[in-house]
Amino acid sequence: LELEDCIIVVDEAHNLPDRIRRSLSRNLNDKILRDSISELEEHCETLEKKGAESSIDASNISRARACEKSLRRFKKRLSTWIREKRETLRNPGDVGAEIEVRVEADYILSMLRQELSGDVSGEKIDFDGLITQLSLIQVDLDEDEDELASERLAIVLSILNKYAQSTAMCVVLTSRGDENRITTHLLDPAIMSQEVFQTVRGGVLMSGTLTPPQMYADSLGIPTDRPMISESYPSPFLADRRPVMVASDATSKYTARGPENTRKIRRHIHALLKNTPGHVAVFCQSYRMLEEIVEEADWPGRMLLIESRNWSKRRVDSALQQLRDARLRGTKVLLAGVFGGRLSEGVDYSENILDAVVCVGIPIAPKSVPQDALREYIEGKHGQGKGWKYGALQPAVNSVLQGMGRAIRKAEDRAFILLLDNRFLTSQFRSCLPPTLHTFTADDSKRTERMVKRFFDHLPDPAKGE
């Protein structure tokens, strides 16, 4: 099959831009260099042993040894450069402070090329030759590894080389204590996806949160010279079976956080739990907030299931089974996770297994060098004001929408949705919600309690069947 003969169908397409970006996010650090040198050394020893027993070309061994020595020199030189860079940027007294700064890929590659050309063995090794040599290494993998360090090194060096001159790549040096890493950040997924969408016969991109469609068309570089239909459809779920309430007295805005704000958030959750007959999911904007809001509090009458960073798909499936088993026993569960985590996206909570969902906060990406670079790039490419909208605001709101959607999987389902962030009442954030999504307000936890009780008095039983 040729690409020209294919039609691409992408479900959950709201994740596609970030998936493409992450595919080119790679690290270069001391460990990957050290392990690659070790693998090269082991590879050379194997070649030398075989060479003594057979007719292996000695030049192969010589080239591999030359690469090993060049990488040793590059590792030492890179460490010196990072140390000098760190000392230049660090303020006096901030010994343990983290440093994050954008660096030039060309400069890093120039140091490597100089060390390659400086080999005294007589072997001529260039950049492409090094990449080829790294890809030829054959050694046993450690049990906890799925890829050789030399393979990872070849990939990150190739990325640096390919996008060294591109404004769509941001290369960042992060240094904290003895840990230093150089990370590649792709700013524009269109440099990979645009050619694909230009070549294929056609495509369908869909998601419950592909909002607004034009933002994704811009981000993915959907060709403007081809016919394109960009459409949003109203939700088939009746508002009276899925009321959405926003608490006006709680927020996750950094400047407004504190013990009193945390107490208000918990009061709202307690009010909802008190009047909800079945399982409730709580999604927070970060694991730190999850710990602060849920783990450090008491939830009488509730069995807790709390997501951790290392949850696998198998663990998620096990949690779903625990929810079903608990319902049969008459046990109420408080399921807690984070936006963008295993529990809040891509999980089908069938059989109306969730009676309510609480969304705490809005997961706006924190300020950082790559995040600032992303907003600046989008602003320059797509227009004024879109850096914040495309790069931070809309993706964060869409993550909340994904969490909200976990409870309602078919038209007959019913669930109460509670948003604990008053920023959804402002025009800036409301504009990111689907126009057909109507909300009402709770001024305090007492109103939350009344409205939740009224809802479940009217619809006490979950939907039946699949």
- The secondary structure of 231-257 as a DSSP string is -----SS-GGGS-EEEETT----GGG-
Cα–Cα distance, 375 to 388 (Å, whole number)? 6
pLDDT score at 123: 67
Which pLDDT tens digit goes with each residue over 306-355?
Answer: 999 999 999 999 999 999 999 999 999 999 999 999 999 989 999 999 99
pLDDT band at 55 (very low <50, low <70, confident <90, very high): low
Residue 361 DSSP label: S
Count Cα atoms within 13 angstroms, Cβ side, for 137.
32
pLDDT score at 453: 97
pLDDT score at 49: 80
Q: Which two tokens stand for residue 437?
A: 């999504």
Residue 364 pLDDT greater than 70, yes or no:
yes
Contact in structure between 406 and 339 (CB atoms under 8 Å):
no
pLDDT score at 343: 96
Q: What is the DSSP string of 94-163?
A: -TT--EEEEE-HHHHHHHHHHHHHT-SSS----HHHHHHHHHH---PPPTT-SS-HHHHHHHHHHHHHHT
What is the pLDDT averaged over residues 252-268? 93
What is the pLDDT averaged over residues 2-13? 96
pLDDT score at 421: 97
Q: Which of 38-52, 178-192, 255-269, 373-387 has the lowest mean pLDDT?
A: 38-52
Residue 282 pLDDT greater than 80, yes or no:
yes
Angle at Cα 6 formed by Cα 2 and Cα 12, nearest 5°?
A: 135
Cα–Cα distance, 283 to 174 (Å, whole number)? 29
Residue 67 pLDDT greater than 70, yes or no:
yes
pTM for the full predicted model: 0.88
pLDDT score at 235: 78
Count Cα atoms within 13 angstroms, Cβ side, for 376.
12
pLDDT score at 120: 57
Cis peptide before 460 (omega within 30 of 0): no
Q: What percent of the chain has pLDDT over 90?
A: 77
Cα–Cα distance, 369 to 86 (Å, whole number)? 16
What is the pLDDT averaged over residues 349-375? 95
State the average pLDDT for the chain. 91
Which pLDDT tens digit goes with each residue over 411-441?
Answer: 899 999 999 999 999 999 999 998 888 899 9
pLDDT score at 31: 94
Better pLDDT: 422 or 97: 422
pLDDT score at 122: 61
pLDDT score at 97: 73
Q: Which two tokens stand for residue 22?
A: 């992450």
Better pLDDT: 123 or 108: 108
pLDDT score at 92: 57
pLDDT score at 54: 60
Better pLDDT: 211 or 144: 211
What is the pLDDT averaged over residues 142-147? 76
Q: What is the DSSP string of 147-209?
A: S-HHHHHHHHHHHHHHTTT-TTEEEEEEEETTEEEEEEEE--THHHHHHHHHHSSEEEE--TT
List, edge to edge, every strand of the sheet that includes 244-247.
Answer: 303-306, 333-338, 280-284, 356-360, 416-420, 244-247, 439-442
Residue 193 pLDDT greater than 80, yes or no:
yes
Cα–Cα distance, 168 to 186 (Å, whole number)? 6
DSSP E strands: which ranges in 279-415?
A: 280-284, 303-306, 333-338, 356-360
Q: Which of 9-18, 134-143, 269-278, 442-451 has the lowest mean pLDDT?
A: 134-143
